[in-house]
Structure 1
Amino acid sequence: MSAVHRELLAEAAAAGDPGSVPSLRTLQRAVRRDLSAGERAGLKGGEAARRRYDVYGKRPPTHRNACWEGDHKRIPVRVALDGAAVCPWVTWFIDVASKVIVGVAVTPHQPARDAVLAALRSGISRSAPYGPFGGLPDRVRVDRGKDFLSGAVARALGGFAVPVHDLPAYKPYRKGTVEALNSAVEQMLLVSLPGYTRRARPAQAYRPDPVEGLLSYPDFVQVLLDWVAWWNTEHHPAGVPDGMTPSEAWEADPTPIEDVPEKQLAFFAMEDDGRIRKITTNGVAWRRRAYIADWMAGNVGTRVRLRYLPHFDGTIEVFTADTPVRHLGSAYLAEAATPAQRRALSKVRESKARALKADLKAAEKLSRTRYTATTTPAAPHPRRSVTEQQAHEEISRARAVDLAARALPDLIPPRDPPPGWARPRPRPDTTAPAVTDPADIAPPEDPTGARPAPGSKE
């Protein structure tokens, strides 16, 4: 308002009528009278500040497993993984009625649809450490994230006739239960962990926490799962009736739970490429790699189909290709690299990336021509002068590069074109002297002035 008042004063002074502008206090009273608190907060802090002054209605209370809400959250805590510090992500689902966390999946990077499917599977199967909570929900409420709306998630939940309600983007209040969980885990747990990235820092250059002082990735996952167990069994969140814990509210609800047989869950969250393979003496081939298992002994020649989790190729599930379909067992990668080999491979890749970056930077520096400053209307001169000999040497080196020697050693040469195709005519070499008929070449003259006789060998 002070800035608006100054502009009005400047405009009135330019028009020659400074007395027409009201005082600053009068302008502020008019703004408070005509604009609501939310509008004033939005002008000052944006849409997020304005939303705090809105009125939201509450959904009517429901029963357990009536609706689940799911979301991703980036954990603002640096943890140690293979000698580097990373910020993991958590994907979880919470029951709206009882506030029970039914499924959790943690990834050391930004999650994909495999994390969503893993969290759903842990909730639906009611397996440890989340059981006995879970079962089959009536519906799942998510935002418009591409991971939640992927085809794999839709097919997995569609197989159990569970609808997915995708809410409008940038409206977190439409799934307030899981958003409240995201805020609670940071305020109750994450702020006390080493490596918390949102801690107030002095005004100096940012220095990442040393890897030695951070939690390892398995330790962090264990701490997070312990907090989930505490939330479900000991905490009293708002919205739970009679001040009960989520587990007490879950047990007090008489709504029956619909369980899914383990045989049907074997197909859940897995994709099938539709091909039929055979078990050979090397195992089962998938993506040009061999997968083996102890149960394959004696089953060489069996026709099978494979199912696998998205973005994970460490293990696969093998099923019979004939009806009725039977689950034969799991198979693992025959030639899996050890952790030490994976770390060494990562170091080699990083060193190559640094070398390429340095080469590109040096090439860009060489290709950029610098000129001297001029004080008169004349053409500028390059700062770096090149002698004639240096120019010839550089051009000769560039021409001497044999591109064929840099090709791959297993490069397959192209086949000859069909005889019916028109081939381009070779261009004559203009740099070499033209070759003429030897009969057209005049004989050399004798120093004495005599000419050779016709038909002589000279």
Structure 2
Amino acid sequence: MAVFPPASGRAAAMPRLLDLDSRGELRAAHVRLVAQALGKSERTVWRWLAAAREDHRFARMESPHFTVTTEVRRLLALWGGNASRVHAELVQRAAEDPDTPAVPSLSTLHRAIRRDLTRGERAGLKSGEAARRAHDVFGQRPPTHRNAAWEGDHKHVPVEVDVEGELATPWVTWFIDCATKAITGVAVTAHAPSRDAVLASLRIAISRTEPFGPVGGLPGQIRVDRGKEFLCQAVTAAMGALAVPVTDLPAYSPHLKGTIEALNNAVEEMFLVSLPRYTGRQKISGGALADPDAPPLTYEAFVELLLDWMTWWNTRRRPSTLKGKTPIQAWQADATPLTDVSTGQLATFALEDDGRTYTITTNGVRWRRRDYLAPWMNGRTGTTEQQKPTTHRTDITMPNPHRQKPADHHEATQHRPHTPVIHPTRAKRQTPSPTPRHPTATTPHKTQPTPVQPHDAKPVKNNRRPSTDATSPHPTEGVMVRYRHSAARPRLHPAG
């Protein structure tokens, strides 16, 4: 078997044979040895040696041929890789200018393009950068342990759903653990996502206390693209306070966060394509969808189905890289220690301080033309507190300086990521209703408490303090929250 290819072997052998020849030490045995090593005949090696003696040529002399020039590349880009149109333009130029070099035949041009341009370059000239990258090779990061790195991204869902009587295509913001392929946190919005969705998904991903877990804890790093929602000050400050770096990857480099990109592709190919009013469905003649009149899913029904699919992903799918294990099994089999964040710290996670103080009155705290009440305010009228509006649910949170017991903000199952439903419209002022139009959380196995919607009338001022119920199954001591949308958390009573 030849170690050197013939072309490079000739270039390596000829200087040595010429050196032996100049010293009078060249023998037929040397030529025979080179011929055997390169897989050539002795006669061929002697011919190479004669050419080297004559003009010091150590390689084959290439015959002149047409090559792809910079101008030909420009024309190929102009005509979308169409060699026939490039040839026609070269012929037209030659006819208009006699001094133009001779135009090769069309078959010669085709041979030059195949010889001088790679498959990726030809695909890129025809279909663009995405087609060119399809012919590139990419490395794979070495296996790591759980929580070594997370990747996050937005997914624009190509399915029309019914949101309060209007059709909209939701967005999904989620994070995935790169080592175990487990989805750690997710948030669904009916509008283009912003930092609220990122922060909500991160809080869910980090928490491992009931009803969350077992996946969670602090990651070593979070890889994201250049999305402004991921790199805004609120997100970087929230994770920076926990010493978790947010790695900003170069733009238009999906291969650098391949785990989350694979999840984005999988959810569409394995789930979204089967839903009614999927916008990527096959089209009939005229470009119309095959099912234009299919009834859309409600927003809540879509979120429920998406959570079911994510439950399947985490508990039943077995990726080949996990060697027969599901993401949850791979997570539980990994003995890497986890770093948890206390419930008290998560209670104020990702809150922004507007720098203002507010006075507690007999009506509570006034903010944005509404009054907010919480049990811990009893007996503290006239005092001032710092108000911290949260960004991830457009809430108001008033931390209790005297009690640190956090409120139960979320409901979810053990293996199922919780999804806060964030609606795009403002809350309508209406009387309280025991059945909200839009639940604030979707859970398959847990009974949700009945939300209370915003009141429509301002209560009469008096010196009576709001009553509290110490036996409530969902106490809200230490936190007061208002949801902008039509559903409000239980035991939270905005007035006015």
TM-score between the two structures when normalised by the length of structure 1 = 0.67
How far does residue 115 in structure 1 lie from its aligned partner after superposition?
A: 0.3
TM-superposed CA distance for 1:258, in Å, is 1.0
Partners of 1:207 and 1:90 lie apart in 2 by 24
| 2:397 pairs with 1:317 | yes
Tell me: CA distance 1:20–1:213, structure 2 relative to 1, closer, same or farther (3 Å).
Answer: same
**CA distance 1:129–1:33, shift in 2 (3 Å):** farther
Identify the residue that residue 333 of structure 2 maps to in structure 1.
252
Structure-2 change in CA distance of 1:53 and 1:328 (3 Å): closer
Tell me what 1:213 maps to: 295
Kept in 1, the 8 Å contact 2:282–2:289? The answer is no
Distance 2:111 2:227 in 1: 44
Distance 1:127 1:73 in 2: 27
Q: Matched residue of 1:243: which SS? A: coil
Alpha-carbon separation, structure 1, partners of 2:291 and 2:360: 50
What does residue 64 of structure 1 align with? 146
Report SS of the residue matched to 2:385: strand
Q: How much does 1:312 deviate?
A: 4.3
SS at match of 1:59: coil
Shift of 1:195: 1.1
SS of 1:103's equivalent? strand
Alignment of 1:149-168 (within 5 A): 149-168=231-250
Distance 1:302 1:208, change over 3 A: farther
The CA deviation at 1:278 is 2.4
Following the alignment from structure 2 to structure 1, what is the Cα–Cα distance between the partners of residues 349 and 300?
A: 26
Give the match for residue 476 of structure 2: none
- Paired with 1:117 and 1:256, the residues of 2 have a C-alpha distance of 24
Structure 1 gap segments, 5+ residues each: 344-458
1:26 equivalent among 77, 97, 108 = 108
Quick check: 296-305 or 182-191, which moved more? 296-305
Which residue of structure 1 aligns with residue 261 of structure 2?
A: 179
Per-residue CA shift, 1:147-173, capped at 9, x if unaligned?
Answer: 000000011101111011000111111
The structure 2 residue matched to 1:200, chosen from 271, 282, 288, is 282
Q: 1:340 to 1:215 in 2, by over 3 A?
A: farther
Corresponding residue SS for 2:229: coil
Aligned partners of 2:89, 2:379: CA distance in 1, in Å?
A: 89
Moved more, 210-219 or 274-283: 210-219
Cα distance, 1:325 vs. partner? 7.6
- The residue number in structure 2 matching 1:415 is none
CA offset at residue 26 of structure 1? 1.8
Q: Take 1:114 and 1:236, find their aligned partners in 2: how far apart are those partners? A: 32
Q: Report the CA distance between 1:308 and its aligned residue.
A: 2.2
What does the per-residue CA deviation read over 1:261-303, in whole Å, with 9 as the maximum and x for residues that have no partner? 1001111011122323222111111233211234434443343
* C-alpha contact 2:281 2:290 (8 A) present in aligned 1: no
The reply to whether residue 99 of structure 1 matches residue 181 of structure 2 is yes
Relative to structure 1, is the Cα distance of residues 276 and 78 closer, same or farther in structure 2, using a 3 angstrom cutoff? same
Query: In 1, Cα distance between the equivalents of 2:365 and 2:199?
Result: 25
Match of 1:319, SS? coil
Query: Aligned-pair distance for 1:8?
Result: 2.3
Q: What letter is aligned with 2:397?
A: E
1:174-226 CA-partner distances (Å, limit 9, x unpaired): 11110111000000000000010111222437589778811100110011111
Mapped to 2, the partners of 1:85 and 1:209 lie a distance apart of: 15
Give the CA deviation at 1:16.
6.3
Are the counterparts in 1 of residues 344 and 404 from structure 2 also a CA contact under 8 Å? no
Measure the CA separation in 2 of the matches of 1:243 and 1:330. Answer: 36
- The structure-2 alpha-carbon separation of the partners of 1:195 and 1:55, relative to structure 1 and needing over 3 Å to count, comes to same
Task: Please say if 1:284 is aligned against 2:284.
Answer: no
Aligned pair partner of 1:234 in 308, 316, 324: 316
2:429 to 337, 349, 363: 337
Residue 344 of structure 2 aligns with an amino acid whose one-letter code is: K
Q: Which residue pairs with 1:409 in the alignment?
A: none
The whole-number CA distance in structure 1 between the counterparts of 2:340 and 2:309 is: 26
In the alignment, the residues of structure 1 paired with residue 98 and residue 255 of structure 2 have an alpha-carbon distance, to the nearest angstrom, of 51
User: Are 2:170 and 2:191, in contact at CA under 8 Å, matched by a contact in 1?
Assistant: yes
Instruction: Report the TM-score when normalising by structure 2.
Output: 0.63
Taking structure 1 as reference, are residues 185 and 326 closer, same or farther at Cα in structure 2, changes over 3 Å only?
A: same
Larger radius of gyration: 1
Distance 1:339 1:179, change over 3 A: farther
User: Counterpart of 1:296 in structure 2: which amino acid?
Assistant: M
The answer as to whether partners of 1:317 and 1:329 remain within 8 angstroms in 2 is no
Residue 267, structure 1, aligned to residue 335, structure 2 = no
8 A Cα contact 1:293 1:330, kept in partner: no
Displacement of 1:6: 1.4
When residues 297 and 167 of structure 1 are mapped into structure 2, their CA distance, relative to the original with a 3 A threshold, is: same
- In structure 2, relative to structure 1, the CA distance for the partners of 1:38 and 1:207 (3 Å cut) is closer
**Residues matched between the structures, number:** 336
Report the equivalent of 2:94.
12
Hey, what does 2:158 align to over in structure 1? Answer: 76
**CA shift in 2, pair 1:29/1:203, >3 Å:** same
Contact map agreement 2:234 2:352 (CA 8 A) in 1: yes
Letter in structure 2 aligned against 1:93: F
340 and 286 in structure 1: CA distance in 2 versus 1, 3 angstrom threshold: closer
**Would the aligned equivalents of 2:197 and 2:392 in 1 still touch at CA under 8 Å?**
no
**Where do residues 367-406 of structure 1 align in structure 2 (5 Å cutoff)?**
none
Which residue type is aligned with residue 398 of structure 2?
V
SS of equivalent to 1:213: coil
1:120 aligns with 2:202: yes
Residue 42 of structure 1, aligned match among 114, 119, 124: 124
Instruction: For CA contacts below 8 A with separation 6 or more, give which structure has more relative contact order.
Output: 2
Q: Give the direction of change, closer, same or farther, for the CA distance of 1:106–1:336 in structure 2 (3 Å limit).
A: same
Match of 1:293 in 2: 374
Is the deviation greater in 187-196 or in 212-221?
Answer: 212-221
